[in-house]
Structure 1
Amino acid sequence: MGFDVAGVRAETAGVGERVHLNSAGAALMPDQVVQEVLWHVRSEARLGGYEAAEMAADRVEGFYASVARLLGARPQEVAFAESATRAWELALGSVPLGAGDRVLTTVSEYSSNGLGLVKAAGAVGARVEVVADDADGVVDVGALERALDQGGVVLVAINHMPTHNGLVNPVERVGRACRARGVLFLVDACQSVGQVQVDVDRVGCDFLTATGRKFLRGPRGTGLLYARAQTAGLGEPAVVDVSSAEWLGERSYRVRGDARRFESFERSVAGQLGLAVAADYAYALGMDAVAERVGWLGEVLRERLSVLAGVRVWDRGRVGERSGIVTFSVEGVGAEWVRAYLARAGVNVSVSRVHNQVWEDARMPEEVVRASVHYYNTEEELAVLVALVAERVGA
């Protein structure tokens, strides 16, 4: 596939410790990211936090260009956040909702987003409506278009890739539908940035949020927010401080006109620098090559698990278009037991629970095992997981 697996594994210290199949939770950082974070923390220890930040000012400024290049955006449309959830909440808080307004979302929406939508809508008398999935499990764009045509929709908020079950929502088609009707579009790209090519112009979104710790391979406690330049004319962010606004007089202020209106003064500078390096690293690898390898590994794992007696793969989405997130269950054994069993054997996976997806299909079990591959994983590592599961099934 033309991908230098040996090279990226040589730059990933963690692959020598365990079989890490939990990139949907937190991927292993490349050595370059670790070095950047440690460099700045050591500078803070020697010089002081403010002084180290001043010394790194040019590199901090470079964060915006690095993320913009990865997303096909402009640097002034990028903001740093403490997490994807924080970035998502800030974006939602700037959308002017009123009584009777409609907000459309998906069956597979992450629970934090669902809570945020219900809270924001309930505060002003707006309504949150869940658009049905199609037969493949992705959001039904036809149903969404019909809902849009009924009028009164202010915002469409969906995820690109859910935290579970492998599906990839057709965000570009949704974006075209929203643009044609002048409706704001907010995309949660938590699982997709760093896993596939995400171009904000092709997606057609007004806001897009992502985390550093997942497939982008950045530090924990970091996130990013893309806000299209035109969104500066919407409502103000829910919170402003001396970084996002300036005093004009004793009782007046002016909010910044770029995406940094969503930022706070206090942040992890080391984390921001590390996230910039992670964005550069992903860009240098080439997101098309990354997506091809991750997608292929995901399908290999699904195929090998699905032939085991007593194992069920729960993934949805269109074959050939699914993500690297693979969810499965083992008959007669709880998902948490399987996770612990694999952990003792040196394999990292996670557990996805129904309450993480507030509008999920009730046919899903209460919990499933989630194994999420990344480009630094190998077929041999997948074989280790499959053999352990097969051993348990045959026990």
Structure 2
Amino acid sequence: MTTAAIVKDLRTDTPGCENKIHLNNAGAGLMTSPVLHVMKAHLDLEAQIGGYEAAAHRRDEIRNAYQMVGQLLTCSPENIAFTNNATDAYARALSCIGFKSGDIILTTNNDYVSNQIAFLSFRKRFGIEIVRIPDVETGGVDVDKAWELMKSLHPKLVAVTHMPTNSGLIQPIEEIGKHCQQLDILYLVDACQTVGQLNINVQKIGCDFLSATCRKFLRGPRGAGFLYVSDKVLQGDYEPLFIDMRGAQWEEKDKYIAHKNATRFEDWEFSYALILGSGAAVKYALSLDLNWIEERIRFLSDYAREELRKLDRIQLLDKGADLGGIVTINTPTIPAGQLKALLDKNNINTSLSHRSSAVIDFDEKGVDWALRISPHYYNTVDEIDQCIATLLQPDL
């Protein structure tokens, strides 16, 4: 099939394409019909026979959701924990590390705001130190500096966001992972924006934890995420701070035993409709060629940048040698709200990021906001052109 024919079929599976030009996949991708069907069917079943009974009835499908995510990340389903969202997954990973005063978290300048706030909270509560690896001049983390800092500082944790929420930058997480493995340093990767967009292989990355959401480029439901946990962590004494009866067995009055697999990081109470929807979303992604997905998103994003770069009124903000599916712009002479309102009026979904979401990056770029244009494989060149044409309207 031609790309045009494939995209046509994908759009048929995407009801939201009928009414909107959806270029806000970095916020939440449009769900597919199969995802909606699975979730609605389970909710109907819960209403008919009861929530506990419906989960028991769908036991095999629920187990299959773990297998789907394991296949997506190239790991065992035993290494997967489902969570409420990517930030929840990230927090559970952080909480299992026994930080004490003077310990170092080595991180980057391009990170998700909630991660940075969590680090600052740990500094306030436990007295840890936060060290940020410098960027290279062209944008993105300096891997050589990272190696030097790992050797000299011996950090407790290296934490890197694969793609920040405020930029199309793709960080070299595999190179950093090799250094972490050489020095046996715990490595946490935030893949919130890249799972479903890029072909992710946790074995190649060499990470101990990887957090992700289902609502973005995986096109799954909101309120669902997952955490990959390495065998090294599962075989060690690591467990989340607020472990519950899903993650451990209460053996005696003053004794519990944590489970050996990643369910150690889960809560007992789940929305199983969301887990089933997440499994369906991953299955849908796997039914396509993951490399094709990556190439398609890169093509549309590169096309958008190329066309936007031609416009005098637009400041293209993305920096880095490797850029993906978030295109960020600023318009120095046009207020953010006015720009977003015009796109909304023309049924074009985008989103705004403000300085509070990217203090380091935006201060370095000299802006206090960015408009995010984030295409997915079901978008078309014509939709990108319509978005750009709207940005060129004379009344702006």
| Matched-pair contact (CA < 8 Å) for 1:188–1:209 | yes
What is the SS of the residue equivalent to 2:189?
A: strand
Provide, for residues 41-87 of structure 1, a one-character-per-residue CA deviation record: whole Å limited to 9, x for no partner: 11111111111111111111111100000000111000000000000
| Matched-pair contact (CA < 8 Å) for 1:27–1:215 | yes
User: Which of 271, 276, 279 pairs up with 1:276?
Assistant: 279
| Matched-pair contact (CA < 8 Å) for 1:105–1:158 | yes
What residue number does 1:170 align with? 172
CA distance in 1: counterparts of 2:89 and 2:97, whole angstroms: 13
What is the SS of the residue equivalent to 1:360?
A: helix
CA distance in 2: counterparts of 1:368 and 1:2, whole angstroms: 35
Determine what percentage of the aligned residue pairs are the same residue: 36
Name the CA shift for 1:244/1:215 in 2 (closer, same or farther; >3 Å): same
Name the CA shift for 1:364/1:55 in 2 (closer, same or farther; >3 Å): farther
What residue number does 1:48 align with? 50
User: Which of 119, 127, 139 pairs up with 1:117?
Assistant: 119
1:329 aligns with 2:322: no
Runs of at least 5 residues in structure 1 that lack an aligned partner in the other structure: none
- Report 1:99-248 matches (<5 A): 99-232=101-234, 233-248=236-251
| Matched-pair contact (CA < 8 Å) for 1:326–1:370 | yes
| Matched-pair contact (CA < 8 Å) for 2:75–2:203 | yes
Provide, for residues 15-58 of structure 1, a one-character-per-residue CA deviation record: whole Å limited to 9, x for no partner: 01100000000000111101111110111111111111111111
The root-mean-square deviation of aligned C-alpha atoms, in Å, is 1.3
- TM-score in terms of structure 2 length: 0.97
1:350 aligns with 2:351: yes
CA distance in 1: counterparts of 2:318 and 2:366, whole angstroms: 10
CA distance in 2: counterparts of 1:268 and 1:352, whole angstroms: 29
Return the offset for 1:360.
2.2
Return the offset for 1:149.
0.9
Which moves more between the two structures, 231-240 or 58-67?
A: 231-240
Which moves more between the two structures, 382-391 or 124-133?
A: 124-133
CA distance in 1: counterparts of 2:337 and 2:289, whole angstroms: 35
1:259 aligns with 2:249: no
CA distance in 1: counterparts of 2:190 and 2:199, whole angstroms: 14
- TM-score in terms of structure 1 length: 0.97
| Matched-pair contact (CA < 8 Å) for 1:107–1:361 | no
| Matched-pair contact (CA < 8 Å) for 1:27–1:214 | yes
Q: Tell me which amino acid in the other structure corresponds to 1:269.
A: Y
* Matched residue count: 392
Name the CA shift for 1:107/1:153 in 2 (closer, same or farther; >3 Å): same
What residue number does 1:303 align with? 306
| Matched-pair contact (CA < 8 Å) for 2:166–2:370 | no
Name the CA shift for 1:142/1:324 in 2 (closer, same or farther; >3 Å): same
CA distance in 1: counterparts of 2:237 and 2:137, whole angstroms: 36
Return the offset for 1:347.
0.3
| Matched-pair contact (CA < 8 Å) for 2:134–2:142 | yes
Return the offset for 1:361.
4.6
Provide, for residues 264-313 of structure 1, a one-character-per-residue CA deviation record: whole Å limited to 9, x for no partner: 01111000000001111111111100000100100100111111121111
- Report 1:15-26 matches (<5 A): 15-26=17-28
| Matched-pair contact (CA < 8 Å) for 2:362–2:369 | no
List structure 1 segments (4+ residues) > 4 angstroms apart after TM superposition.
none
